[in-house]
Amino acid sequence: MARQRLLDLYRQQKHDATQRYLKVAVRTKGCSGNAYTMDWVNNRDRLDEEVKVDEQLSLLIDAKALFTLLGSQMDYTDDKLSQGFVFMNPNVKETCGCGLSFIV
């Protein structure tokens, strides 16, 4: 379901032809200290890991987040209470009460 949602979002974006990357990173924020971020970017940094979604779109894993995200799976949920991307990360040791931030 995540793949299809990524492609839908990509097609809805107002972007130029070079903006074909969605970059996943981990930033310091939230109650527990870390949170996932996703941003559209035009260029790939040299050390980013690239995961092809299809010919037009690639997912980039920020080089600084590679070890934090190693072994993770991303999915998309859409139910009566919420919708959004969720990460199943085996490196997470603890999450905050709201579930938006984590500790590795």
What is the tens place of the pLDDT at every residue in 39-67? 888 888 999 999 888 887 888 999 999 98
CATH of residue 92:
2.60.300.12
What total number of domains does the chain contain? 1
Q: Residue 46: count other Cβ atoms within 10 Å of its Cβ.
A: 6
Task: Assign 65 to helix, strand or coil.
Answer: helix
Close Cβ partners of 2 (under 8 Å, ≥ 6 residues apart): 74, 75, 76, 85
Domain assignment of residue 97, given as a range? 2-103
The low-confidence residues of the chain, meaning pLDDT below 70, are 14-19, 30, 98-100
pLDDT of residue 34: 85
Give the predicted TM-score (pTM) of the model. Answer: 0.80
Sign of CA dihedral 52, 61, 87, 82: negative
pLDDT of residue 17: 59
